[in-house]
Amino acid sequence: MMIDLMAAEVIADPYPFLAQERDRHDIAWHEDMGMYLTFTHELSSAVLRDRRLGRVWIDREPASYLEPFNLLHRNQMMENEPPEHTRLRRPVAAAFQRGHVERLRPRVQALAGQLLDELGPSFDAIEDFAEPLPVLMIAELLGVPNADVASLRAWSQAIVRMYEPGPTQEVIDAAVVAAQEFADFSRQLVAARRSQPLDNDLITELAASELSDDEVVAAVVLLLNAGHEASVNVFGNGLVGLLRSGSRPADDPSLTVEEMLRFDSALQLFERTAMKPVQLGEVLLEPGQKVAALLGAANRDPAVFADPDHFVADRDPNNHLAFGAGLHFCLGSPLARMELVESLTVLFQRYPGLRLDGDPTSRGTFVLRGYTHVSVSG
C-alpha cells in the first residue's frame, strides 16, 4: 500500500515511511494524489531539472469562488514557464543578488540581537525568534511598514495551507479571505509607490516595471510568503534536529545551515507536469501527467548522503535539494542562507547551553513541514 502523506504518523516523522518506499521503488503512482512520486535523489533532481517537466497552473475549482486565490497564483513566476517565467522573474532578481544580500547582513545581525535582548532564559524559538526575524527582513526589503507584519504572517499561514493534499472547506474559506485581503493590501502599497516612489524599495521598482497590476501584486505576495515561510520552518526544523543530536553549530556555521536545510526539509513536495513525453526510471510520463519530487526523501537518500538519518553539523559536501533545482531554483536562497547563518550564530553566542524544553509542537502539515512552538532554554 502506498504511503498516506496525511497520516498522523507520517506527518509526525515522515522519514522512516519515505525510506520504506525508497527501498521498494524509485518512482511510483499515488492513486489518491493522482500523480507519480519520486523517492530518490537522482529522480527527484531529474524532475526539478528536466525542462520537459514544467509548472502548469490550472485554476482551482470552483473557479469563481476561488478567484482571489487563483489570481495570485496564475500570475506568479513559480507557476509559469518561459517566456512568461523569465519576464515575471527579471524585475525581482536583482534584489536577491549577492551584493545586495551582503548589504543586508548587518541589519539581520542587529535585528537578531534586538529580538534576543527581549528574551529571558526560556522562550519559544519559533514565536519569539524564528518567525519575526525573516518577516521583518522581507518586509523591510519590500518597503512594508512594520505595523503590518502581523497581518502578513496570518495571511501567509492561511494561504499556504491550501498546498496540502485535500484541504478542508474551512482551510479553503480561510485561504480565499486571506488571498483577497493580501491582494487588496498589496494593491494599496503599489498605488502608494506609484504616486510617491521611494528609494531602495522593491515595491517601487516593481510598480515601475513592465508588469501588470495583477502581476505586481502576485509578485509582492509571493515574495512576502516565500521570503519568510521557508526560513521560519527551516530554522525551527533545523534547530530541533541540531539540539536533538547533541551538537552545536560547526566552526563554519554555513555548513550547519546546509545540514538544517537537508535534515528536515521545510518543503517536502514539489510538483511538475509533463509537457512532452519524459522517461523517469521505469516510468514513461505522457504529456499532462503529473509527478512530484519528494524532497524530504531525496535529502535522506543513502546513495548520496552518508548516515543520512543523523544530523551532522559539519557535513560536507551536502548536495541537498531543499531550495529546488533548475529553472525554478529558489530566487531568495542567498537571503535565506544569510539570515539563517546570522540568526543561528547570534542565538548560540547568547545561549551557548541552549536545549529543548519538552517536545516541539508540529504544524500538522506534510508539504510545508514545520513547528508552531519550540520551547527552549539556555
**Active site positions, annotated:** 226, 229, 231, 330, 339
Question: What's the residue count for the chain?
Answer: 378
Give me the residue label for grid cell 500500500: 1
Query: Cα(221)–Cα(156) distance, rounded to whole angstroms?
Result: 9
What are the residues whose beta carbons fall under 8 Å from the beta carbon of 377, sequence distance 6 or more? 121, 122, 123, 354, 355, 357
Question: DSSP secondary structure string, 137-200?
Answer: HHHHHHT--GGGHHHHHHHHHHHHGGGSSS--HHHHHHHHHHHHHHHHHHHHHHHHHHHS--TT
Instruction: Give the Å distances, CA to CA, from 69 to 63, 162, 165.
Output: 9, 9, 16
Going 40 to 270 to 11 to 35, the CA torsion angle's sign is: negative
Give me the residue label for grid cell 517566456: 83
Give me the residue label for grid cell 528536515: 264
